[in-house]
Structure 1
Amino acid sequence: MHDLIERAATYARYAWRGRWSVLGITWLVCLIGWAVVMLLPDRYRSSVRIYADTDRLVSPLVPGLAPSASVDNRLGVIQQTILSSPNLRRVVDMAGVLPLDASPEEVARAAREVRENTDVIAEEQNFFELRYVDGDPHVAQAVVQSLLDVFTNSGVGSRRGDIEATESLLDEQVDEAKRRLDEAEARLTRFIEENSEVVGGDRSYFRRLEELRREADGVRGDLALANAQRDQLEQQLQQTPRTLGANFVGGGVPQDSRQVELAAMRERLAELRARYTPQHPDVVATERTVARLEAELADAPAAVRAGPPNPQYDALRLQVGQARARVQSLEVELAAAEARAETLAAKAPVVPAAESELRNLTRDYEILKRGYEQLVQSRDSTRLAGALGERAGQLDFRIVEPPSLPQAPTAPDRLLLMAAVLAGGLIAGIAITLARGSVDAPFDSPRALHRAFDLRILGTISRFKRPVDRWRRRRQTAGFALCSGSLALLLVVLVVLERSEWGDRLRETVRPLVGLSTIRPAPAGPADTAGASGSRELAIMPGPTVMPAAMPAAMGVEGAKFPEGGEG
């Protein structure tokens, strides 16, 4: 806590030492900022309050819609009616915002400005306030009056014609978008069919290649197992005699012991081969015994060797045939799997290009699809707007408060801005001074000197102030107070000017000198009247707020319904 207090005191000393810098920076910021604030153009707001029965616009259109629409729906109805592009162009022409020979680009830009500076606010049920802000109070009033006239005098027939033309154009655009969408879909489908092995399906190319290779490996394993089974069966078949031998003839009593011994030695040889290598002594000795017995039997008479067929041999021969067929089938399957994998692997160089082309085709298709959906939605919205327009002639409408000529600007709040500029100048001056003080910080206390050099401080010597030093210090303090007071006095003068008409005169005099435009003259709006001297003045006639019964017919609106009496 003590360190924080000491640091705050140090910063305060920095600021006091650099007080002239703080004051100079504050003066500089305030002079520039206050000049800019004083030259800011005034913004005037004109408004009109109206009553419009929007239930008739919204509720009958959609079956099952509640009779009382939401505030957002009501506000949307008013905004669509007032701030449509044709109506805004009419407002620009009626309010005289631009000269008569303005280009279409200037008219479109002025219409966008009118849209941006216009606000439609829903206050209560069916009560709305229409506001417009401009640098000229006459223009603001003229634009609001023009918006009101456009809203009340727009005929259903002309609006319906515009909507029908818009619907026809949208129908053509929808058909064209549908044709382009079908072509893009056909291109995408054809490309996928032609490159199905590379880009087809939900799986990627490398995933399909890995699956084919795993399939080939699986078939290869099955083939190895089938080969082993076939070899084992063939070996058993070779060791099994075709006949039972003559010793089994006539009741199965053996007549030659050599055949019995040969069969036993063959069984033992099979067991030894399963347990030992072919070079094992027991295996070699048994093979010699089997060979000797076979030679002896071969030299024996045929009557001794002959005998009935061996059923075990026939069963083994059948199994060997099946095993060989299985091996051949797996070899064919393995060759096909390897061929598919090799064919797909050979297409690896074209995969990036194919996938890039697929992404491009898919992106084009999605863009065309979104555009088509947006056009369909716009066409439906236009048809809905047409239905709204047909109901607009039956709108119950009243002017509660007519457009007024603003007497005082609503923006900018120069007092608040000047206070903010003063605060910003002080903050900037103090921040710069503290930054300079932190860089060129002197030793203003024994503790700071001790922290810097880690030496013991024996004592301090106070500065002796002479009378001339005291006089110079008082003079500096008085000068600082005078400069600070001058800044405050300048602020007071600017506030007084702002609250008087001299501020407007000063702005009208200075703004042309610095190349800024002044307030425009009153525009030639729909309510202008020419005086005897030829000058034109804007005349807004509030009068009765009820439209006469003959006006709808004069506007070409059939079946229009307005209140019969009363004023807004």
Structure 2
Amino acid sequence: MNGLYEEFRIAVHSVWQRRWIAMGIAWAICLVGWLAVALIPNTYESQAKLFVQTKAILPENTGISPVERQKQIDTVQQTLTSAANLEKVVRGTDLGKGLVTPREIEGAVNGLRGAIKIKSDQSNLFEISATMTASGRSDGEAANLSRAVVQKLIDLFVEENLAGGRGETSDTLRFLDEQLAKRQKELEIAEQKRVKFETENLGMLPGIGSVSQRLEQGRLEINQIDSQLITAQSALAAINGQIAGTPQTIAGGTSGGVNPLAQAQGELAGMKARGLTDQHPDVLALKSQIAALKAAGAGASTAYGVPNPAYSSLVSMKAERQAAVSALQSRKAALQGEMNAMVAKQIQEPGVAAEQARIARDYEVLKAQYDKLLADREQVRLRGQVETQTDAVRFDLITPPSSPRTPIAPKRPLLLAAVLFAGIAGGIGGAFALGQLSASYPTSAKLEAASGLPVIGSISQMLTQAQRADRKRKLRMYIGSGGALVGVFLVLLIIEFIQRGSVV
């Protein structure tokens, strides 16, 4: 332990003996270092926060759903730092002042790309920042320029989001209009070809659609008629069974009463007077009653039977059911006849049917394409109206572009202090290194160890009064030199803070 302490004392003594060299080295390092720090240009940063709020009031089929809108915003964020947008920033701020050639513009754009940062802290919160150095410009100009760049980026961000969808909609509408016009011409040509073919083969192709389509429709309709016919025939059979078990007349009336035959004939005359035809169910039923009364001699003055109302009602219902069955049978026969005729014509002229099917197929394909394009165009047009007439996206400037007053780099106070400590350490290190290179020995023990000979003793230095006064004077000068070094450091700090406060 005593040896270490002795070595430390020797090192301190060596440095102290060369203290003026240490002071000179410290001054040299500090002056050079402080000059280098002073030459580093200040860098100013401006920041802004922008909140983008998407609205989901309209349905998603308009194409402006929250997911679709978020994709569009992400795309704009990624392309905001493209060369085209950065060139707009350069030309829209003082960065483009004095730039004429494309090479100069390109250099400014490349330099600006590294000075811009765009990040999203949350899903819809964007932070835009720009840094500008005072190289070639004053600190105030650099600070104002960073703010102007951030403001221009915000304007571009809003403009790209608002105008991007509208421009895309316009391009899409233009493309759809061109395709619709093209499909419309093709559809008109196909329509004319179909009409011409049907006109030339009018006798071969009755009806609408191809032969196979009409045959299929005919089969479906015949199947429906068959089921309806079965139901009508069952109902008619039920009515016939009820009529067979119901008497035509019931007992009643004497010779002194009203003649039923005359009464029935009077009712028949009244029906014809109302305009009922002979085919009317009520007229047919009444005629049947009159015939039955005549056959039974109901015109005599003796006792007679009264017509049964239930029987008359059943007869009327039977007439209606028979008419329905007859109509269904007639319709089935007509359809079967048409189908047989079409099959016969298809067998006789198979090429005509095939050509008609091909023409009809081409026409339907073109019409389906035209209808789909028309629906797409209407949807795009609706989206364009939504983009133009509604506020689908709202931009809220949470933090406006800041006006920096303090540079973010360099950290000049820390650098100045680091240079001071480096100068002091360099001076001490230089003095110590020179002491190690010296051929003198600070103690008798060092001399004895180096020479290998015994040292009898050492003589201390004796100073006169004048020498002591001179040493005190030099010590004051040395302390004053060190104080001056620290004073220069403090002055530089004061100047730095004054300059920061003077940035406008």
Q: TM-score range by the shorter chain?
A: 0.3 to 0.5
Q: TM-score, normalised by structure 2?
A: 0.47
Q: TM-score, normalised by structure 1?
A: 0.42
